[in-house]
Structure 1
């Protein structure tokens, strides 16, 4: 699911350009997309970095059009492993159709 013909990467959130690590991770993701290679690991790395280093930038839970957020919201143990936060962070650098797969 990394073909640049099928799902071009949108411009990342503005704060990401000011962070050297975000920029390097996005560049690695872009190289994989351009090469039409698997990029799941790169997607996870960017989302994890955002959760760990830019928590104030993580979007609010999706209120419509997301099959995953209601399941995360229904959990009574919070967000173990910060998976819900990573799910929402993916909106900052991936097309919606791809971002909401996780």
Structure 2
């Protein structure tokens, strides 16, 4: 799967020491090779819990995962899925 470049994280992430720390760990792990899902999930969970106003709206009809989560009422998984687009390339962020 080809991915696009990593997005520049939004300003709120740089103002939060925990976001910055988790983002650095994610980048370090990702640059070492595949297998950074734990780091992605940890950062996503932090953003949902500590920055709920920053959770993006659902991606729309073109995102099968957003539709799945809406159908089954998986609110927290849906939010974690959506915040990954703040710090992961789109091809990766929408894959889980």
TM-score by length of 1: 0.84
After the TM superposition, which residues 1-102 of structure 1 pair with which residues of structure 2 at under 5 Å, given as runs?
A: 8-75=5-72, 77=73, 79=75, 82-102=76-96
Shift of 1:9: 2.5
Give the number of equivalent residue pairs.
96
CA distance in 2 between partners of 1:6 and 1:73 (Å): 26
Structure 2 portions without partners, runs of 5+: none
- Please state which structure has a larger fraction of its residues in helix: 2
CA distance in 2 between partners of 1:78 and 1:71 (Å): 8
RMSD between aligned residues: 1.9
CA distance in 2 between partners of 1:31 and 1:9 (Å): 13
CA distance in 1 between partners of 2:63 and 2:49 (Å): 23
Structure 1 portions without partners, runs of 5+: none
